[in-house]
Structure 1
Amino acid sequence: MHDDVLRQAKHTYQERCRHDVSEGKGITQSLHFIRGDLIKPARIHFPDVEFGERVTARGQQRTIDLARLETHSAVVGLLLGRRTQRVALSRARREVRRWQRRQLCSVDYIREWSQLLAGPVPALVDLLRADTPTATRLRQNSPFWLVLRRH
């Protein structure tokens, strides 16, 4: 009987976690009623809760990544403007040189951003607009923060 109650509690908790994650609420620590008994999930170890926490963390990271994508849309506007393009590229290149001089980030970021900033603007614009793993990774460490701060 005790195993049945625990199995039911685990199932109910997993369902609640799935529902809360799908509703964007994350994992709750609320109390659940099973057959009239009050069960506190914190007292029962459910390895699958880690899955729910990972799903929540990924959702939160996705929100951050989409915000960075939206922020870089403003950079795209600057890069497409005749008067603002030169200034935006100059400031971004200066920032990458600062990273290199002070060893502020990975050599990979410095190399990739240096190549992008030296290349054709349409390729840079395409990258800043892209919702790809590479674009997302590069936006996490972008030399354009200074450009955005000043505009």
Structure 2
Amino acid sequence: MQQFSSTQAKQNFGQLMKASALAPVAIERHGKVQALVMSPEFHGAGRAAQDPLAERRLARLQQAGIEKDRLLRHHRIALDLLTLSPAEREGLIQQARDTVERWRSERLSSRDYVDRWAALLALPLQQLAREMVSDADGWGTALRQNSPWVGPYA
């Protein structure tokens, strides 16, 4: 999916319209997808009558945008963990650990998520930062969907 920042969308409206004729286009503001622009053929009854899978494709595109936002958020958290003072860093990690422990004690989340986040939060800092933005074990997307990072990161 092609993406435009909100500034690019304003400054290059004609290009945005051309791109949206080919496929839905995401418009981002502050690193988050705020809107999808698409031609009528990609939305509603007109497209569904031509292509019964159009709604599924659109839903997949929207989900991909949501996952991209989550990944960007976790990249920002990882960067903060690597650049904050030791006291601030430990405060953030402890807050995440407390959230995971609350999930465990109140049974708010699956044991798989609790155990995996607890293990991640016990890793050395560099490895934690790398693992929370990785999909190496196949759990990255799921873990970012159910993340213990709260406050400005929520």
What is the TM-score when the length of structure 1 is the normalising length? 0.66
* CA deviation vs aligned residue, 1:47-104 (integer Å, no higher than 9, x gap): x51x222111111001000111111222112211233210111000000000011100
More helix by share: 1
> Over residues 87-134 of structure 1, what are the superposed CA-to-partner deviations in whole Å (9 max), with x where a residue is unaligned?
111000000000011100100000000000011222221122336642
Please point out which of 141, 146, 151 is paired with 1:141: 146
Higher strand share: 2
Unaligned runs of 5+ in 1: 1-18, 32-39
Rounded to whole Å, the distance in 1 between the matches of 2:122 and 2:46 is: 54
Q: Which has the higher contact order (CA 8 A, sep 6+)?
A: 1
| Contact 1:21–1:56 (CA under 8 A) maintained in structure 2 | no
- The answer for unaligned runs of 5 or more in structure 2 is 1-19, 26-37
Amino acid at match of 2:58: T
Aligned counterpart, 2:43: 27
Stretches (4+) displaced over 4 A: none
**RMSD value, Cα:** 2.6
Q: Identity of aligned pairs, percent?
A: 31
Counterpart of 1:82 in structure 2 is: 85
Distance 1:114 1:73, change over 3 A: same
Q: How many residues align?
A: 117
